[in-house]
Amino acid sequence: MTETSTRPRVLSGMQPSGESLHLGNYLGALVNWVKSQDDYEALFFIPDMHAITVPQDPAELRERTRKTAAQYIAGGIDVHKSTLFVQSHVPEHAQLAWVLNCITGFGEASRMTQFKDKTAKGGAESASVGLFTYPMLMAADILLYRPHGVPVGDDQRQHVELSRDLAKRFNHRFGETFVIPEAFIPAEGARIYDLQNPTSKMSKSASGPGGLINLMDDPKITAKRIKSAVTDAETVIAHDRESKPGVTNLLEILSTLTGKPVDVLVAEYDGKMYGHLKVDVADAVVSRLEPIRARTLELLADPAELDRLLAHGAAKARAIAAGTLADVYDKVGFLPPLGPVD
């Protein structure tokens, strides 16, 4: 107990919105979460409340929430070291989000790029208000636990920035309450690109499945997708995001998986063909992901045990979250409720 409380804290989460986590989620986020567990008191959660900002099938959401938890564990999250929980099991997230909504400017929220991106096609009229207030719920997720770091991929930078602004604003108006969190963004793997469209980030919501590597895909499909990755009409293996985005993406994936710097890889592939690089990337990805897939399936075979682990995590998380929320409610001037009366 005393051991964990002296370490700085990190917290992060990934939405249970797809059939599986993908290689971008794994290399951009999960690998760093796993590394952080030894040096930090770490909390990892499944933001199911964020998932319903867009329509979800209820039975599917429940399944995906368990599946996401299983992938965290199979990918290396150790439930004995870290706290693993589901967002909706800790009601303080929604409660703090309301208070943060009330100190966020409408203009400030309107400038968040995720809402603009996600409504670019269908228009803001048909989007939910939940999607608009997504960043304030995310700020609540973070600030409740007073973490020092938030390990995420590059695309989450603006959200962490808003959390910092809201923490500073609250502290300034109501007195020191929140720790100002920092985004921990990896130097390598922060942005993995779609294999078919290597100028767009790899994403669950990509236009076609060909560019996506899922942790739960059959290894044969994974290898095939990598071997069919879009490259360019040249033959030289070089790192150049502008003119060779496809080859550059493959080099970065290999570098992150092998730990070899990109320039060392470029030297090793001197005189070799794109096909060689693709075979090596496919082997490296498959050998890393296959045990994770197998372990995920094992964990999913015992949903009662997974639910028990998540209940245990939620109790640990609530013990922290309740303290912060009580402090916030007091500072904003809410009348404390009396205990039971007759």
Active site residues: 118, 201, 204
Helices (H), 1-154: 2-5, 23-25, 31-36, 48-51, 58-74, 92-101, 106-110, 113-118, 129-143
Phi, psi values for residue 41, rounded to 5°: -85, 110
In this complex, which beta carbon is closest to ligand LTN, that of residue 23 or of residue 286? Answer: 23
**DSSP letter for each residue of 127-182:** S-HHHHHHHHHHHHHHHTT--SEEE--GGGHHHHHHHHHHHHHHHHHH-S-----E
**Considering CB under 6 A, how many residues would be counted as binding ligand ATP?**
20
Task: Write the single-letter amino acid at 142.
Answer: I
Q: Residue 149 and residue 180: Cα distance in Å, rounded? A: 9
Q: Among residues 10, 11, 20, 25, which is the contact residue for ligand ATP, using CB under 6 A?
A: 25
**What is d(CA 197, CA 231) in angstroms, rounded to the nearest whole number?**
9
Q: Which of 58, 175, 205, 340 binds ligand ATP (CB under 6 A)?
A: 205
Pick from 11, 29, 31, 292 the residue near ligand ATP by CB under 6 A. 29
Scanning 135-143, 198-206, 256-264, 291-299 for contacts with ligand ATP by CB under 6 A, the matching segment is 198-206
For 271, left (φ over 0), alpha (ψ -120 to 50), or beta? left
- Interface pick for ligand ATP out of 10, 11, 28, 140 (rule CB under 6 A): 28
Footprint of ligand LTN (CB under 6 A): 11-15, 47, 50, 138, 141-142, 150, 152, 156, 159
Stretch that binds ligand ATP, among 13-21, 79-87, 255-263, 301-309 (CB under 6 A): 13-21
Give me the least distance between CB of 50 and ligand LTN, in Å please. Answer: 5
Quote the least distance from Cβ 288 to ligand ATP, whole Å.
Answer: 15
Burial class (CB in 10 A: 0-12, 13-18, 19+), 81: middle
Q: Which is nearer to ligand LTN, 155 or 283 (CB)?
A: 155
Q: Which is nearer to ligand ATP, 30 or 325 (CB)?
A: 30
Q: Is residue 157 at the binding interface for ligand ATP, with CB under 6 A as the rule?
A: no
Q: What is the largest CA-CA distance in the chain?
A: 84
Binding site for ligand ATP (CB under 6 A): 14-15, 17, 22, 24-25, 28-29, 152-153, 155-156, 190-192, 201-205
